[in-house]
């Protein structure tokens, strides 16, 4: 009878150890996924956005820019928009966020 109780106790302890190992491996897997997302997705995207914002802040009158697929020369810089001359005498107002590059 004591042998049966000892076997049951040992089996219960083994089951508990397996469950603890499964929980630990689940947490390790979760931490690896979060680290992957941070280092390979969030961090590079944040770096690109900082560089893009620096580019937008550096727009000056006279720069040639590509905005919304249209090339033009900056005539006036406002807080959120720029006035861009796309042909002689043709000035359009474009959002700064539409600027793709400065030449």
- The first and second tokens of residue 20, run together, are 């603890």
Q: Are residues 3 and 19 in the same domain?
A: yes
- The first and second tokens of residue 58, run together, are 């550096």
Domain containing residue 83: CATH number = 2.30.30.60
Tens of pLDDT, residue by residue over 28-79, are 999 999 999 999 999 999 999 999 999 999 999 999 999 989 999 999 999 9
- The first and second tokens of residue 4, run together, are 């049966």
Q: Are residues 47 and 86 in the same domain?
A: no
Q: Are residues 76 and 35 in the same domain?
A: no
The length of the chain is 103
- Domain range holding 51? 1-57
The pTM assigned to this predicted structure is 0.67
User: For the residues 84-101, what does the mean pLDDT come to?
Assistant: 94
Give me the number of domains the chain comprises.
2
Task: List all residues 6 or more positions away from 58 whose beta carbon is below 8 Å from its beta carbon.
Answer: 102
- The first and second tokens of residue 79, run together, are 């807080």
Degrees (nearest 5) of the Cα angle 5, 6, 12?
Answer: 90
Tens of pLDDT, residue by residue over 14-27, are 666 666 777 788 88
Q: Are residues 50 and 64 in the same domain?
A: no
- pLDDT score for 5: 57
Q: Are residues 95 and 72 in the same domain?
A: yes
């Amino acid at each position: 009878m004591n042998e049966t109780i000892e076997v049951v106790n040992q089996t219960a302890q083994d089951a508990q150890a397996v469950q603890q190992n499964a929980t630990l491996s689940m947490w390790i897997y979760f931490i690896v996924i979060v680290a992957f997302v941070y280092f390979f997705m969030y961090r590079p995207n944040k770096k690109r956005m900082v560089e893009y914002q620096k580019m937008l802040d550096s727009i000056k009158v006279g720069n040639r820019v590509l905005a919304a697929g249209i090339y033009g020369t900056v005539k006036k810089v406002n807080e959120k928009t720029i006035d861009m001359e796309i042909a002689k005498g043709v000035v359009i107002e474009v959002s700064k966020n539409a600027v793709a590059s400065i030449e």
